[in-house]
Structure formats: structure tokens, C-alpha cells
Amino acid sequence: MAELKTKPTSASVTAFLKAIDNPTRAEDARTIKSLMERLTGEKPKMWGPSIIGFGNYHYKYDSGHEGDFFITGFSPRKKALTLYIMPGFGRYDDLMARLGKYKTGKSCLYINKLSDVDMAVLEELIASSYAWMRENYGS
């Protein structure tokens, strides 16, 4: 069984954020860090070399594969600010319709810059997905 590559590390979140070259991406990353800290009540932790995660949960698939992962998080990637909305987006159609300009993957929300989205809607999306994960996976 393959081992999960994205694991918590002892790397400094502050140092990681200070190393972001793009000024807009750096400011957006600091904003999302503060927002996620406030909404989750969790301290940020580096997961792998480039993801900042908040909280953690244990999962187990029917196949027997199991592991631990962050409940929500983000990565200030070069192409887009990537937010991890672990339950996916299917239950959030209303919020997604009001969010603004974005793209999605299975559990990834890709935003070019925070000014492209409605921050109140983004906050509701993060809070709702975090609450859903806590309710369904515990801590």
C-alpha cells in the first residue's frame, strides 16, 4: 500500500510565508492563514514542503488504506492560491455560485487572487467545510 507523501513537518510556517516572492500571493497567503486560524481555532502546521494545514483527521477507506490528513489548509502555489476543502464542493452549490472567479479540482479550490472572490462567501465555505469534517471525522 502506498504511503501518503504529504505529512506534517516541523518546518516554520512563518519562514515559509516570508519566502513567497509574489507580493500579492504573499499578502493573500497571510490573509488566508489568519482567516483559517480564526475559523478553526487551530494552529497552522506545515504539511510537506508547501502546504499549510489546520487540524487533522484520521480516515480509513473500504480498501483498508488509512492515514491522517489536515482538515483544511492552503498552498500559495505559483499559478494559484490553492485552498483544500476536504469534503469537496457538491454540498456547497449555493456558496460556489456566489463565490466569484475560481476553478476547482476534487477538493482543491484554485483562486488567482483573493480580490477575485467574495471574502464573506469564502469564509462561510471554509467554516462550513471545517464543521462538516469535524462532525463526520471527529478530531
29 close to 46: Cβ distance less than 8 angstroms? no
CA 48, CA 57: separation in Å to the nearest integer?
16
> For the chain, what percent of residues have pLDDT higher than 70?
96
- Specify if 89 maps to a domain: yes
pLDDT in tens, 37-90: 999 999 999 999 999 999 999 888 788 878 888 999 999 999 999 999 999 999
- What's the structural domain count of the chain? 1
CATH number of residue 60's parent domain: 3.90.1150.200
| Residue 36 within any structural domain of the chain | yes
| Domain span holding position 68 | 13-137
Whole-prediction pTM value? 0.92
17: closest CA among 37, 40, 1, 39? 37
> Does residue 95 sit within a domain?
yes
CA distance 106 to 19: 28
pLDDT at 107 over 90: yes
**48 found inside a domain:** yes
Cα(74)–Cα(32) distance, integer angstroms: 8
Q: What percentage of the chain reaches a pLDDT higher than 90?
A: 83
Question: 78 lies in a domain?
Answer: yes
H-helix or E-strand containing 16?
Answer: helix 13-18
